[in-house]
């Protein structure tokens, strides 16, 4: 998808789980005696019909299993979970370029600290971290250069890029009800709410734009992990929704 590197969207991953084909039902063969040729021929014919029936039943079961698996995968992808690729460095080091994440579409209410995939400012899939929710006042920065939410400074060291800082741009916003203030973890490489303050919502996004919450990295396997809410954003804040 054609977007600038610092605001690239997460792209849906491809592929759905398949089903193993069921094997053919076993058929036991029997031999007819020399003195009963007619009976032997009739018996062979009856067994042949059973063989044919067994193979047909096994094929139908295999097809049914495959179709059921595909339908289940499509339903999961549409309504429950979805895979997305990370195409840029805007969420480093939490998420790195080419990571694959699983997104929960039934995540419930979006909270501070959630890493969410949403339909972004260019109508592209975008992934950022929620810093403030409706009713919050988010500000940069206090005397120590920290972002504050409702006057409470955030300790962002656990997720902020180690060579970066909370923000090079000063701002103070009251987040409207039903909207979210989002930022990338690699602040200097992220075109997030700060870069869209002139647009509708003053840089915030609507909760309705959220596709789901990214809850795990599953590829590459060496980076597989669960994405948890940072302690600094999991606390109770005053003057919230």
Q: Quick count: other Cβ atoms within 10 Å of Cβ 197?
A: 13
Query: What are the φ/ψ torsions at residue 222 (nearest 5 degrees)?
Result: -65, -20
Is 83 known to be catalytic?
no
Question: Nearest-5° angle of CA 166, CA 157, CA 194?
Answer: 20
Strand-pairing partners, residue 128, are: 116
Is 177 known to be catalytic?
no
Which two tokens mark 123?
């109508």
Q: Quick count: other Cβ atoms within 10 Å of Cβ 196?
A: 19
Which is catalytic among the residues 100, 128, 139, 173?
A: 128
Q: Select from 127, 124, 147, 125 the least CA-distant residue to 136.
A: 147
Report CA Rg, the chain: 28
Which is catalytic among the residues 83, 88, 90, 190?
A: 90
Give the position of tokens 């039903």.
Answer: 178
Looking at the annotation, which residues are catalytic? 90, 128
């Amino acid at each position: 998808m054609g977007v600038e590197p610092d605001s690239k969207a997460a792209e849906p991953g491809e592929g759905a789980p398949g089903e193993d084909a069921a094997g053919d039902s076993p058929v036991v063969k029997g031999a007819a005696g020399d003195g009963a040729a007619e009976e032997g021929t009739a018996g062979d014919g009856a067994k042949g019909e059973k063989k044919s029936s067994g193979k047909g039943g096994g094929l139908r079961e295999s097809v049914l299993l495959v179709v059921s698996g595909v339908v289940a995968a499509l339903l999961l992808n549409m309504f429950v979970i979805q895979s997305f690729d990370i195409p840029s460095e805007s969420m480093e080091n939490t998420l790195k370029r080419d990571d694959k994440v699983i997104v929960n579409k039934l995540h419930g209410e979006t909270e501070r600290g959630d890493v969410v995939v949403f339909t972004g400012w260019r109508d592209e899939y975008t992934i950022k971290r929620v810093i403030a929710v409706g009713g919050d006042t988010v500000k940069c920065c206090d005397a120590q250069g920290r972002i504050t939410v409702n006057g409470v400074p955030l300790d962002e060291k656990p997720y902020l890029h180690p060579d970066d800082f909370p923000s090079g741009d000063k701002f103070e916003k009251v987040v409207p009800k039903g909207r979210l203030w989002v930022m990338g973890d690699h602040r200097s490489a992220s075109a997030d709410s700060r870069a869209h303050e002139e647009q509708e919502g003053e840089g915030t996004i609507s909760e309705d734009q959220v596709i789901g919450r990214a809850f795990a990295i599953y590829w590459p396997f060496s980076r597989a992990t669960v994405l948890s809410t940072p302690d600094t954003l999991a606390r109770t804040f005053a003057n919230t929704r």
